[in-house]
Chains A and B, each alone.
Chain A
Amino acid sequence: MTRTIADLGPDIHRMYPYASNFANVNGWRMHYVDEGPVDAPPVLLLHGNPTWGFLWRETMVPLLEAGYRVIVPDQIGFGLSEHPHAASAHSLDNHAANLVALIDLLELKNLFFVCHDWGGPTGLSALLTRKELAAGVAVMNTWAWREPSSDFHAQVMPWLTMHAPIVGPYTMGRQGGFPGRVMYLSVVDREKFKNGAMKAYQRVLADPDDRRLTWQWPRSIPINPETDIAGDRFAWLEEGVRALEIPSCVIWGREEVVFTADVFASHWHEIWPHAEGTHMVSGNHFLQEDSGREIGDLLTDFAKRNLRGTGR
């Protein structure tokens, strides 16, 4: 069933008051928000696991006020996009290719890629595939390499156990752990989140089969060269981003406990010596929930200094 933002109820639509658009990408139905002047330089806001475009609702406001075109897709498998049940639909390659398809379909150029969490590996893969269209890039609480990995992701308790065979589909699928407790524990102001935005993440992943990507995506994180299923893509990705010379910016959540700034943000600056930042904001992994507007101001300031030309 095709649902729009308005279909999620007035409480959510009030927080994310935009029109729903849909595109066919590689045969899947992708939901996206597309606001601002069609010829303005476009900003592509890319979310990760288990969020959807809603995550960027406060971040996009300053960008729109400054006159940019803001495009916010829901990755296939999340939000109001189609939720394929075929496991092979959810390879890193396929998700990156879905973003490439959207960029082509909307005929975007002079594009500012903004990547959070899995929006990093997917968005940066898309960027490398359409390098000539990229005008700038911002990364936050994400990565694009095999090493260093997070200590958290290599620990048996809780991460590896949570994603073990049979355990992953139970805890994240059947019990809905990711849009629930995992997100709750990964913001700074938990009460505000619990009483406000949390329902928007749970409502779009209401049924166990809808939540497949919440436990399948983490299995692509490279932690063991013998069993990694996306290791080659991450190696390609790191080589590609190292060669990028476009304006770039690093923003990070001060309270992040998984993709810690000392390891991950620092590695971005090693890869991109020219990058601005690190701009530290209040926030755990889902930093937009605590500092959405501030992140929007940082992105707007960056865009004003670095984006040139029109969007089409």
Chain B
Amino acid sequence: MSVKKMTERPLGFRSVPVLTDPDVAHYPEFKDFLVKTFELDKEPLAAPGLLDVDGRCFELIFVGRSGQPFPAAIEIAALVEGLEPMDTAQTDKDLWQIMEWLVDGVGGRWTIEALTTMGKIYRVTPDGT
């Protein structure tokens, strides 16, 4: 597993929205982790955050809402080259890796082990197991 922050958006890639969460502060520590990782407290409306997942790129777009701390919401988009179709099965696997990176980064009571076990119980992992 390799999820790393990137600094430069690759040229010639289009943005495909794959996941939206309107309440990234549902558990405040998740928002705090993203604020710290992408330095959103310094420049909230800078370019989207970028993640490299085993060589594939994802854009994290942080969204504000009046009356709520920034960011209120998040949109995750896969960056797909040109007009080529997105590999949906691979995207599901990559999103799972991003979730592992997220819960591991948030830490405390949130663990990859719990995520994995929950995924297996409800068969919501990318391979359906």
The answer to whether A binds B is yes
Instruction: Give the interface of A toward B (CB within 8 A).
Output: 87, 156-158, 160-177, 180-182, 185, 216, 219, 227
- A157-B117, A171-B124, A174-B95 given as contacts; is B24 within 8 A of A165 (CB)? yes
**Beyond the given A161-B110, A172-B124, could you list 15 further A-B residue pairs with CB under 8 A, ordered by the A residue number?**
A157-B114, A161-B118, A164-B27, A165-B102, A166-B19, A167-B99, A167-B115, A170-B96, A170-B124, A171-B119, A175-B92, A181-B122, A181-B124, A219-B23, A227-B27
Interface residues in B74-129 (C-beta closer than 8 Å to A): 74, 76, 92, 95-96, 98-99, 102-103, 109-111, 114-115, 117-119, 121-125
Return the contact of B103 from the options A164, A171, A176, A216 (Cβ within 8 A): A164
Return the contact of A87 from the options B23, B28, B74 (Cβ within 8 A): B23
The residues of B that contact A158 with a CB separation of less than 8 Å are: 114, 117-118, 121-122
Q: What is the bound-complex CA distance between A160 and B117, given in angstroms?
A: 13
Question: Is B20 in the interface zone, CB < 8 Å from A?
Answer: yes
The residues of B that contact A216 with a CB separation of less than 8 Å are: 22
Asked whether, in the complex, the Cβ of B22 is within 8 Å of the Cβ of A87, the reply is yes
Asked whether, in the complex, the Cβ of B26 is within 8 Å of the Cβ of A182, the reply is no
Q: What is the bound-complex CA distance between A182 and B118, given in angstroms?
A: 11
| A-contact 0/1 string along B7-45, CB 8 Å cutoff | 000000000001111111111101100000000000000
Asked whether, in the complex, the Cβ of B25 is within 8 Å of the Cβ of A165, the reply is yes
Instruction: Give the interface of B toward A (CB within 8 A).
Output: 18-28, 30-31, 73-74, 76, 92, 95-96, 98-99, 102-103, 109-111, 114-115, 117-119, 121-125
Q: Which residue of A lies closest to B114 (CB)?
A: A157
Q: What is the bound-complex CA distance between A194 and B119, given in angstroms?
A: 20
6 shortest interchain CB distances as A-B pairs: A87-B22, A158-B118, A175-B124, A171-B124, A157-B114, A165-B30
Asked whether, in the complex, the Cβ of B23 is within 8 Å of the Cβ of A162, the reply is no
Q: How far, in Å, is A232 (CB) from chain B's closest CB?
A: 16
The residues of A that contact B121 with a CB separation of less than 8 Å are: 158, 181, 185
Q: Which residue of A lies closest to B125 (CB)?
A: A175
A-B contact pairs, 29 of them (CB 8 A): A156-B114, A157-B114, A157-B117, A157-B118, A158-B114, A158-B118, A158-B121, A161-B114, A161-B118, A162-B122, A163-B26, A164-B110, A165-B21, A165-B25, A165-B31, A165-B102, A166-B74, A166-B76, A167-B103, A168-B21, A170-B99, A171-B119, A171-B122, A174-B92, A175-B123, A175-B125, A180-B123, A181-B122, A182-B122
Asked whether, in the complex, the Cβ of A161 is within 8 Å of the Cβ of B115, the reply is yes
Asked whether, in the complex, the Cβ of B92 is within 8 Å of the Cβ of A164, the reply is no
The residues of B that contact A175 with a CB separation of less than 8 Å are: 92, 123-125
Return the contact of A169 from the options B20, B111, B114, B125 (Cβ within 8 A): B20
Q: Which residue of A lies closest to B34 (CB)?
A: A165
Asked whether, in the complex, the Cβ of A170 is within 8 Å of the Cβ of B19, the reply is yes
- A156-B114, A157-B117, A158-B118 given as contacts; is B123 within 8 A of A165 (CB)? no
Q: What is the bound-complex CA distance between A282 and B58, given in angstroms?
A: 47
Q: How far, in Å, is A53 (CB) from chain B's closest CB?
A: 25
Q: What is the bound-complex CA distance between A161 and B23, given in angstroms?
A: 15
Q: What is the bound-complex CA distance between A165 and B19, given in angstroms?
A: 11
The residues of B that contact A185 with a CB separation of less than 8 Å are: 121-122
The residues of B that contact A161 with a CB separation of less than 8 Å are: 103, 110, 114-115, 118
Q: What is the bound-complex CA distance between A4 and B61, given in angstroms?
A: 37
The residues of B that contact A182 with a CB separation of less than 8 Å are: 122
Q: What is the bound-complex CA distance between A177 and B22, given in angstroms?
A: 19
The residues of B that contact A227 with a CB separation of less than 8 Å are: 26-28
Q: What is the bound-complex CA distance between A161 and B19, given in angstroms?
A: 17
Q: What is the bound-complex CA distance between A167 and B106, given in angstroms?
A: 13
Q: What is the bound-complex CA distance between A239 and B14, given in angstroms?
A: 53
